[in-house]
Amino acid sequence: MEIESLDHGRIQAAPEYGALLRTGGLDDFDRVMSRQGGRLFRDFPGRQTIRIELPTAIGGTVGVFLKRYEAGYLSAWGRLKRKIHWPGAEDEALREWETIQRVRTLGIMTAAPVAVGQEKRGGVVTRSFIMTEEIRGSVEGHLFVKNLDWKDRRRLFRRLGELTRRLHGAELIHKDLYLGHVLIVPRGDSPDLFLIDLQRVAEPCCFHERWRVKDLGAMAYSSLRAGATRADLMEFYQAYCETENLRATDKGLPLRVVRRVEWLAKRCPKHDGDYKPGVARQ
């Protein structure tokens, strides 16, 4: 992917967005990190996600999501791991930027990358950000599912199974593969699916089955909470395995996924509502 370097290399931008960043005064790393306003979506210690609008040359605006990581986001142990290049301790902003490009090569749609920026001290990234363009007209998966009849749900879950198969087939694990991290743009019988929040995506060197179970468990758990049925999940799994008739070797994985779902339900946070393990609409 071609990039445009801004602010003496502290920002890398997709060329088509360079003019937008300059017009909006966001071609400087410090101005991006101190930008006020916008709609707040996530706010955790040291990490924040907001939606802002960049003015265009013709008078319109482009919606952009800005995810910022401050110095306080990393613990002392996290900084040490990053300094010694511990696997998985890389800057999450740059990791998401690179992962966006990789998953696109797999035929998986995701948010368009706008820019990524980093500030380093002693060779270690201490502050960073990533901007991605808003996916216009999209609905979070767990909300979209609630308004579907059973036929449309089956079609959707087959598509979700195919998406997950492509991701796992490339040895990639999402680590937060909840239904809400798939954005859906309605388009008749064939909506567009966008996989988002890729900052934790990894390619584990070992224990692949364990990581697959975590991803599949997160998808199953969040889908059940959104009103999906066991039949919907079977449609998902058949597409994931690329077969209508599951082999004996295919049946062990669902049992581990069920145990994962039950574990998630036992530790579910308060905002997860009244989901009970083993309970789903038929």
Distance of CA 160 to the CA centre of its chain: 14
Length of the chain: 282
pLDDT at 123: 83
* Residue 282: inside a domain: no
**Cα dihedral sign for 168, 170, 174, 177?**
negative
Where a domain ends, among 103, 133, 163? Answer: 133
* Residue 243: inside a domain: yes
Please give the Cα distance from 48 to 200 (Å, whole number): 15
Q: How many domains does the chain have?
A: 2
Where a domain ends, among 88, 105, 133? Answer: 133
Judge if 150 and 101 occupy the same domain.
no
Judge if 73 and 157 occupy the same domain.
no
- Amino acid making up residue 223: S
| Residues 276, 265 contacting (CB under 8 angstroms) | yes
Terminal CA-CA length for the chain: 46
- pTM for the full model? 0.88
- Strands 182-185 and 192-195, sheet pairing: antiparallel
Stated as kind and residue range, the H or E segment containing 61 is strand 61-69
Could you list the residue range(s) of the whole structural domain that residue 31 is in?
Answer: 4-133
Judge if 185 and 113 occupy the same domain.
no
pLDDT at 250: 61
* Residue 62: inside a domain: yes
Q: Which of 110, 71, 85, 278 is nearest to 194 (CA)?
A: 110
Residue corresponding to tokens 């990791």: 95
Please give the Cα distance from 218 to 265 (Å, whole number): 10
- Per-residue pLDDT 10s for the chain (282 aa) are 789 999 999 999 999 999 999 999 999 999 999 999 999 998 888 999 999 999 887 778 899 999 999 988 877 777 778 878 777 778 899 999 999 999 999 999 999 999 999 999 888 899 999 999 999 999 999 999 999 999 999 999 999 999 999 999 999 999 999 999 999 999 888 999 999 999 999 998 877 899 999 999 999 999 999 999 999 999 999 999 987 766 666 667 888 998 999 898 887 554 444 444 433 333
pLDDT at 173: 96
Judge if 111 and 166 occupy the same domain.
no
CATH code for the domain of 207: 1.10.510.10
Half-sphere exposure for 240 (CA within 13 Å, toward CB): 22
Phi-psi region of 151 (alpha: psi -120 to 50; beta: other; left: phi over 0): alpha
Judge if 88 and 175 occupy the same domain.
no
Where a domain ends, among 113, 133, 153? Answer: 133
